[in-house]
Structure 1
Amino acid sequence: MTVKLTHQDNQAILTIHGRFDFSLHAEFRKRSEEALELEGAREIVVNLSRVDYLDSSALGMLLLLREKAAGNARSQVLLSGAHGMVKQVLDVANFERMFRMA
Structure 2
Amino acid sequence: MKIDTVNENGKIMVNLSGSMYVEEAAVLREKLIVLMESGHKQFVIKLNHVEYIDSSGLGVLVAIQKRALQIQGSVTLVGASGLVKELFELTRLNKVFTMQ
Q: What TM-score results when the alignment is normalised by the length of structure 1? A: 0.88
CA distance in 1, matches of 2:13, 2:87: 21
SS at 2:80 equivalent? coil
SS at 1:82 equivalent? coil
* 1:17 and 2:17 correspond: yes
- Give the partner amino acid of 2:83: M
SS at 1:50 equivalent? strand
Size of the aligned set, in residue pairs, is 100
Indicate the residue corresponding to 2:63 in structure 1. 64
Q: CA separation of 1:45/1:38 partners in 2, compared to 1, >3 Å: closer, same or farther?
A: farther
> Given that residues 44 and 78 in structure 2 are in contact (C-alpha distance below 8 angstroms), is that contact kept between their aligned partners in structure 1?
yes
SS at 2:15 equivalent? strand
> Given that residues 47 and 81 in structure 1 are in contact (C-alpha distance below 8 angstroms), is that contact kept between their aligned partners in structure 2?
yes
Deviations 1:27-55 (A, max 9, x none): 1012211332455x442111111100111
Indicate the residue corresponding to 1:76 in structure 2. 74
Query: What is the deviation of 1:21?
Result: 1.4
SS at 1:16 equivalent? strand
* 1:55 and 2:66 correspond: no
CA distance in 2, matches of 1:5, 1:37: 15
Deviations 1:53-76 (A, max 9, x none): 111111100010011101111x10
SS at 1:3 equivalent? strand
Q: CA separation of 1:12/1:37 partners in 2, compared to 1, >3 Å: closer, same or farther?
A: farther
- Runs of 4+ aligned structure 1 residues displaced above 6 Å come to none
